[in-house]
Structure 1
């Protein structure tokens, strides 16, 4: 592979950028996982599923997060790596030793190409397949309300006005200390209290057979309460049993092959044809931002700079330019899902970023802090220096020095 044919200095730059990329990508994915994927926790806990189901669901959602975050993580890693090489005087030493600019540019571009291939695979195959599997699991979990009823411990609301509590579940599958509150009819309130019970399924129907209990019915219209003891009572649970799950997958949950050859019974193809097209073209154009980010990082931070040549400004400008370009791409995608005439802009934004940054890099543009910004920063620095002199610690040090 071309990666392993890189000369020593280029392998060094590639290794530093790769290590930082993995660190940034891991941090960003963990943050997005905590803020976005945990929304599925209520689906799992409310329906009585095990914790391993939640873990599996979060893993299925990771590829969709990585495909968006990986290019951004690459931009940050490439920019910070080049800035650190300048800060450690490694880029100036390489330039002074006669090393070509390719020593820095080629490993950054090679790493970008690796990310491009990985992101392309995620967009076209891995992420859609994972999201499709996740959608089917969520649909089954939400549909299987009967699984909620057979769990012991806690009060579970399985329908509007219907609450069930099972204190314990015996090893043989039977239940102990059952309480059912049925307030679905506004005029009547019924409670079932039984010592034991068992779940019976027969002929496609499900019944909670309660034994040795009482039925308490409160007629709110008449203000009367009646109590009936029973030896055996069957409560019909068939209406809560999971039926056939129709997990129709959206365009982003279909692989590219399935998008090109859609199933005839998929309603999204006919109902949202523009969204269908926009999804397909986004998968082609989204990985191109990685190459644009490579040229942006090299444009602003790829040349040797001293500490007096505005390295901080160049680094900030590289990150802001990359984020602005990607944000513009997201905005175009949102608009193109409703207007098919805007789909060509999905190509224009990343390709335009690549062309502009590559031409600027080739012509050797150097970016310096504008005079106005430089003066503003100098003013802030002088103000900060004066405030430090007025701090209690500075006053204490001056008094200590005077006594000495």
Structure 2
């Protein structure tokens, strides 16, 4: 069950990330293997996020099924200690925490660095500087380019180039088709079957010249030796311990590196924390009819709340390092509390009556909103 939930959630997040970068994938003329490689670089960061939540859902659902089949009742009725069912869950939680630490500090930074370099390399060519079809893009100051169609053979259909860089006159280039290409001197735009209009800004006169082919030099407008910005999330753990003092981004945002370091040292612990949450919420036998819904919901909601607390204080610590102790207090302090609850045979959960009340209130609000909208 864990692997099913894990793969489904990872696939969903991976799809969202690929769609987010679909412009790069479709406009950079990448090969299929390059596109596949770029897409695969999102997987480590997705697995790191999904892993603890998939684990807590799988554990809670497994214990709910065991309770439904009266297996937990039998375990509690005999002399077998509850630690017998704790052990495999905690061992798996420890293994996933170690895997999360390795992924967050070694695999994910390597993938993110490689992805940054691929994007920077693609953006160094003009065709990836252009925005989507049907809108103008400022290539340089007072120079705008709009394309009507991108064709599979890398040619361009229906393009307009506006050059307003001269104070005395403006130039308007229109062409039926064109091609972005490169030579030893840089990037050039070859326009075919079009015209150039020259408008004098002093007297408003317009002169038109038609052409079969016209070449416009764009090399001065493309970024040369563009520096790749590497963020704290892209760095390895060793770099975060001792960042380069000459790093321009570190000089501007030193607290981001400090916060990222402490976040890396604490966030890997969440799979084990969530395993404790699942044990406290669902490892005890209970009347199935009374707590069928609340076990799984309680584990998920509590896990989300704990993760949100960590995220909240991490964001606050970027601007105020006084919040850094909270990054350690949340996972380790809550773990100590959950261990105490396990050994004292306590559990957490939302009673079904509370959940039903929440559902009824939500349904009432939605019904009221629908009634208001219908009367307007």
TM-score by length of 2: 0.78
Counterpart Cα distance in 2 of 1:341 and 1:299: 31
Correspondence list, 1:183-194, <5 A:
183-184=163-164, 187-191=169-173, 193=175
CA apart distance, 1:116? 0.6
Correspondence list, 1:371-382, <5 A:
374=353, 377=356
Correspondence list, 1:82-121, <5 A:
82-96=63-77, 98-121=79-102
Q: Hey, what does 2:29 align to over in structure 1?
A: 49
Counterpart Cα distance in 2 of 1:176 and 1:281: 49
Give 5+ residue unaligned stretches, structure 1.
Answer: 1-19, 385-404
- 2:38 is equivalent to residue 77 of structure 1: no
Q: Hey, what does 1:255 align to over in structure 2?
A: 236
RMSD: 3.9
CA apart distance, 1:214? 5.2
The answer as to whether partners of 1:274 and 1:340 remain within 8 angstroms in 2 is: yes
Q: Hey, what does 1:11 align to over in structure 2?
A: none
1:211–1:321: structure 2 CA closer, same or farther, 3 Å change rule? closer
CA offsets per residue over residues 127-155 of structure 1, 9 Å max, x none?
11211222222223233215678xxx999
1:145–1:242: structure 2 CA closer, same or farther, 3 Å change rule? same
Helix, strand or coil at the partner of 1:310:
helix
1:240–1:56: structure 2 CA closer, same or farther, 3 Å change rule? farther
Counterpart Cα distance in 2 of 1:321 and 1:218: 67
CA apart distance, 1:376? 8.7
The answer as to whether partners of 1:170 and 1:176 remain within 8 angstroms in 2 is: no
Counterpart Cα distance in 2 of 1:311 and 1:98: 26
The answer as to whether partners of 1:146 and 1:241 remain within 8 angstroms in 2 is: no
- 2:145 is equivalent to residue 163 of structure 1: yes
1:21–1:157: structure 2 CA closer, same or farther, 3 Å change rule? same
- 2:162 is equivalent to residue 182 of structure 1: yes
CA offsets per residue over residues 25-51 of structure 1, 9 Å max, x none?
222223333444422223444x44337
Helix, strand or coil at the partner of 1:325:
helix
Helix, strand or coil at the partner of 2:312:
helix
The answer as to whether partners of 1:128 and 1:253 remain within 8 angstroms in 2 is: yes
CA offsets per residue over residues 176-198 of structure 1, 9 Å max, x none?
98865334359534325589989
The answer as to whether partners of 1:44 and 1:141 remain within 8 angstroms in 2 is: no
Q: Hey, what does 1:391 align to over in structure 2?
A: none
CA apart distance, 1:247? 0.7
State the number of aligned residues: 354
Counterpart Cα distance in 2 of 1:177 and 1:323: 49
CA apart distance, 1:79? 1.1
- 2:41 is equivalent to residue 28 of structure 1: no
Helix, strand or coil at the partner of 2:41:
helix
Give 5+ residue unaligned stretches, structure 2.
Answer: 364-376
The answer as to whether partners of 1:178 and 1:197 remain within 8 angstroms in 2 is: no
Q: Which moved more, 1:27-36 or 1:224-233?
A: 224-233
Helix, strand or coil at the partner of 1:341:
helix
Q: Which moved more, 1:302-311 or 1:257-266?
A: 302-311
Q: Hey, what does 1:294 align to over in structure 2?
A: 275
Counterpart Cα distance in 2 of 1:39 and 1:170: 22
CA apart distance, 1:236? 1.3
Counterpart Cα distance in 2 of 1:375 and 1:65: 33
CA offsets per residue over residues 11-64 of structure 1, 9 Å max, x none?
xxxxxxxxx11122222223333444422223444x443374554333212212
1:177–1:310: structure 2 CA closer, same or farther, 3 Å change rule? closer
Q: Hey, what does 1:15 align to over in structure 2?
A: none
CA offsets per residue over residues 328-367 of structure 1, 9 Å max, x none?
1111111112112221211111111111010111011255
Q: Which moved more, 1:280-289 or 1:190-199?
A: 190-199
Select which of 265, 284, 295 maps to 1:284.
265
The answer as to whether partners of 1:216 and 1:228 remain within 8 angstroms in 2 is: yes
User: Which of structures 1 and 2 has the bigger CA Rg?
Assistant: 1
Q: Hey, what does 1:6 align to over in structure 2?
A: none
Helix, strand or coil at the partner of 2:173:
strand
CA apart distance, 1:265? 2.9
Q: Hey, what does 2:286 align to over in structure 1?
A: 305
The answer as to whether partners of 1:148 and 1:156 remain within 8 angstroms in 2 is: no
